[in-house]
Structure 1
Amino acid sequence: MPTPGPAVEIRQDEILTGEAVALDVQPIGYFLRAVGVLIDMVAGVLLFVLLALVVSWATRENVLGGELTGVFTIVVMVMVMVVIPTVVETATRGRSLGKLAIGARIVRVDGGASGFRQALIRALVGVFELWFTAGAVAGIVGAFTPRSERLGDLLAGTYSERTRTPKLPPAPPGVPAALTGWATIADVGRLPDRLARRIAQFVRQAGDLDPAARIRTAMRLADEAREFVSPVPPVDPETLLLGVVAVRRERELRALQGEDERTAALTAGVGVAPRGFPER
């Protein structure tokens, strides 16, 4: 009997591609998506009013017969509610005016780009859930789905993905050059966690502080830290704080990596029978 392969755990914010690769995705939030839908609907209403004015002018100028006014009104409604949204989403691969404004796009549940079929289904269902109910159905369905999907998304197999990722924080500073040798022998393990958090916060925000306040805060924190640091290097207060934060961060990172390696080694050894005994 073949041994089953390792199970792939898929979290809520991940999708599994056809190659069994889990991709981390960021669905757009409920309120942002509601804003995007509202922008699209307002744009649709303005376009409908513009086209209706054109039809009204054509009727007054006898360009269109009076009996054709109703027909052209229906044609304008179909264009605004179905045709134009379908063409726009197909041509832009899931984008629209509202989605551009909130930084989102429509993608398939497997992470692929949305196509004509998905755009048409969403537009047809949107006639009911967006236009005929003023967005009430879409709002209710979106509130109870994991990725804020509306009814059209559920039927088309799509959802709205975030395209503007948050800006990454700057890389933390390393050990100052003046403390390279000291970092190999420094004892900072006795530093209280509360004081360590205050020092780390100061290091992150030092560049935004007033110079005088920055010097005062560094001196005060360095005086508190010297009681728990051994040996104390002969450097200025801020350099001392930078070194303490960098050393603690590097040692905590090494400890976490070592724990992960031990856990992986123990996990790999589970299920291996002792030598001389058959596996059951």
Structure 2
Amino acid sequence: MSHTIRVGDLVTGEAVVLDLRVAQLASRAVAFAFDVAVQFGLLLLVSLLVPIGFDDALQTALALSLTVLVLVGYPTAVESLSRGRSLGKLVMGLRVVRDDGGAIRFRHALVRALGGFFVDFWALGMGGAVALFVSLFSPQGKRVGDYLAGTVVIHTRVPKQQVELATMPPQLAEWASGLDLSQLPDELVLAARQYLSRYHELTEQARWDLGSRLSDDVGAAIRSPRLEYTHPHPYLSAVLAERRRRAAG
């Protein structure tokens, strides 16, 4: 039986849900408002740099081109370079991830931005009415751009009441102390924490399959893959425990 990982509805083959916190409409709206303010600030700045004296048709075409460039180019560039975090999402502790929990790439950011411009917000979106309507009826709060890109927005901040279950396996302590954890994505950390917290609810096969997939992603991010004979549980525990130790220090 196959086992799948899905953010916000992270389900194993045994229908055990590993819950990552899908961003709610209110927090997404605040992040969007912040980004819109930045975009219109950029539009104002760019408009001041445009030379005057062109005929009306050329001025209109230039203004439209600059508007599309900012409203599509800004979110595409920022979310691509930051692995899913625009300035507004950074303020609100949100991140865009793929439906399978992985980091988005340029094509995901571009499709989201195009969907936002043409459908969700501007060209046909009636100022965000389409995005609001679709999000309200989506279990994961998705707008049209998210459906087209295969993405979802999640919270990256862990609730204070969440218990940290990761403990450092003694045999991996020295190895973990030399890891570069700077490129470890927050959404991957959250998924690993959820895996550890629900570990005993999974069958042995699911523990291995789900843990192996998470370990592969973590290993790629920290450039230190899990050894073939190391079980995913101690590997992930060591990485998270070391991350917690550095944060506390």
SS of match in other structure, 1:131: coil
Structure 1 residue 41, shift from structure 2 partner:
1.5
Three-state SS of the structure 2 residue aligned to 1:140 is helix
1:21 Cα offset (Å): 9.6
Matched, 1:25 2:20: yes
Preserved CA contact (<8 Å) 1:28 1:160: yes
Count the aligned residue pairs.
Answer: 162
- Alpha carbons of structure 1 residues 71 and 108: separation in structure 2 relative to 1, 3 Å: same
- In the alignment, the residues of structure 2 paired with residue 26 and residue 167 of structure 1 have an alpha-carbon distance, to the nearest angstrom, of 13
**Per-residue deviation, 1:72:** 2.2
Residues 109 and 157, structure 1, Cα contact 8 Å, conserved in 2: yes
The equivalent residue for 2:47 is 52
> Counterpart amino acid of 2:146?
D
Q: Distance in 1 between matches of 2:76 and 2:70?
A: 10
Deviations 1:99-153 (A, max 9, x none): 0111001001000111111111111111131123211110111111011111100
Alignment partners' CA distance in 2, 1:106 and 1:30: 14
- C-alpha displacement at 1:12, in angstroms? 8.7
2:98 aligns with one of 70, 83, 108: 108
Q: Scaled by the length of structure 1, what TM-score is found? A: 0.51
Structure 2: gaps spanning 5 or more residues = 165-199, 204-249
Higher relative contact order (CA 8 A, sep 6+): 2
How much does 1:76 deviate?
0.9
Aligned to 1:123: 113
Aligned match of 2:176? none
The answer to whether the aligner puts 1:146 opposite 2:139 as a matched pair is: yes
Percent of residue pairs identical: 41
The 1-side partners of 2:21 and 2:41 are apart by: 31
Tell me how far apart the structure 2 counterparts of residues 9 and 151 of structure 1 sit (CA, whole Å): 23
Q: Aligned to 1:118, what secondary structure does the other structure show?
A: helix
Change in 2 beyond 3 A, CA 1:82/1:11: closer
Distance of 1:153 and 1:120 partners within structure 2: 11
Q: Is the Cα contact below 8 Å between 1:10 and 1:22 reproduced in 2?
A: no
> Are the equivalent residues in 2 in contact too, given 1:17–1:111 (CA < 8 A)?
no
- Counterpart Cα distance in 1 of 2:7 and 2:97: 16
Question: Are positions 1:42 and 2:37 aligned together?
Answer: yes
SS in 1 for 2:153: strand
Compared with structure 1, are the counterparts of its residues 143 and 129 closer, same or farther at alpha carbon in structure 2 (3 Å cutoff)?
Answer: same
With the length of structure 2 as denominator, give the TM-score of the two structures. 0.56
SS in 2 for 1:52: helix
1:30-80, Cα deviation, whole Å (9 max, x unpaired):
11111111211222122112212222xx21xx5x67664233212211211
Structure 1 residue matching 2:95: 3-state secondary structure? strand
Q: Contact 2:4 / 2:10 at 8 angstroms: preserved in 1? A: no
